[in-house]
Amino acid sequence: MTSSQSSSPLLVAVLNLTPDSFSDGGMFSETDGALSRARELILEGACCVDIGGDSSRPGSKCTGPEEEWIRIEPVVSILANEISLSVDTHHSEVARKAIKAGAKWINDISAGADAEMFSVVAESSAKIVLTYTRCPKPHLFEDEPQGDIIQIISNFFERRMQAAVAAGIDEQQIILDPGMGAFIARHNEVSFELLTRFGELNSFGRPLMLSASRKGFLKAAGEKRAIERDGASAFVAAAVLLKNAFKTPTYLRVHNVALHSSVLSAARRMSGI
């Protein structure tokens, strides 16, 4: 991180209301527990809480928009009036209901695969996160395309941004997430190359989101639970931010907000920021 960076990274907290998410599936499926955890995440330093009702891990199956909304509606309807809330969905039907309830962000792992997603967001002031994915459709993982990973992701972003703007979305609403782990490749080396070259995506002039938290490429020998990747997740986030100067806001989508806040605070102090 250098003195040319405009601002400190902002933490977006992950809160999955699913029985099968790879990291915290089933932990917050009860409304009261989810509400309590969301409020706690804000107190720990999150600028926004990203609610998910449909696991996108490899091997997962799509719940469909009706079941997804049933899972998240009780939490969204309450939290949207209290905090900055994001909804992680690739269904335009869910996005429409979430925005109507007060959600400020739509985090779309498919970057608009649903033909109606962009028009739904365009009718609002909500931000939309466009995530690179090698999936031709959500939940369907195929072999990654061959070639330079940054060029592959950049070409994808150009196409999806053009489609979003053509549908009426203001470019200022767009955040770009290059995807991590299985979203970009089956091989860990590709994920680490992307981390090393993350700053090259500055060329788009849009806020970037790094979503490396607890991803499989950080798995350590002998680990028993994904939560054991929190230390590596925070280290990776700090390393990427120390290595690059970002002229736009940078978001970190994380599970352990308290740890990331502490590590990033120490990194800022050591770098003189």
Of 156 and 272, more confident: 156
User: For position 7, what pLDDT does the model report?
Assistant: 58
Average pLDDT over all residues of the chain: 88
CATH superfamily placement of domain 10-271: Dihydropteroate synthase-like (3.20.20.20)
Longest CA–CA separation in the chain, Å: 49
Torsion (CA) 112, 116, 120, 123 in degrees, nearest 10: 110
Q: In 3D, which of 246, 245, 263 has the Cα closest to residue 254?
A: 263
Are the C-beta atoms of 139 and 62 separated by less than 8 Å?
yes
pLDDT grade, residue 1 (50/70/90)? very low
pLDDT above 70 (res 139): no
**pLDDT (average), residues 176-188:** 87
55: three-class secondary structure by DSSP: coil
Mean pLDDT within 145-157? 93
- The pLDDT of residue 244 is 79
Q: Where are the domains of the chain?
A: 10-271
Contact predicate 121/165, CB 8 Å: no
